[in-house]
Amino acid sequence: MRRKLTRAERQQVYEKCKGHCAYCGGILEYKDMQVDHVTPLRIGGTDEIQNMLPSCRSCNHYKSTLDVEGYRKYLAGIPHRLMRDNIPFQIGVRFGLVQHIKDDVTFYFETLNYHFQKEGRKYNDCKRSER
């Protein structure tokens, strides 16, 4: 069951990524932030601050009930699905207007040296690495 966060808890989640979406890195106003469960409650995640990151509406919507690796895989597959299903995209590629650059996906929170301790399918605790 999802619990209501206090204002202080929401602020704590917001500050984890210094005013940015944890996934795409877009600038995120506090009022627009959605709190994402890194490991969704539906697949065994906890309703604790350690399992929460700030997210923009779009990333939170598309991540939905996926875990971090599931979301990464979903995003990495977008160019392939576009090439398969979208004729304007195919034409753009053919004429050099669109280029597929990479398949690997790095989330913004990973560039901040935040790492989640993986236990099975769950990412339990967001910890800042000392590097």
Q: Is 44 domain-assigned? A: yes
Across all residues in the chain, what is the average pLDDT? 88
Percentage, residues of the chain above pLDDT 90: 78
Q: Tell me the residue range of the domain where 26 lies.
A: 7-123
pTM for the complete prediction? 0.82
What are the start-end ranges of the E strands in 2-81? 34-37, 52-55
Residue bearing the bigger pLDDT, 33 or 119: 33
Q: Is 128 domain-assigned? A: no
How many domains are there within the chain? 1
Q: Is 1 domain-assigned? A: no
Q: Is 131 domain-assigned? A: no
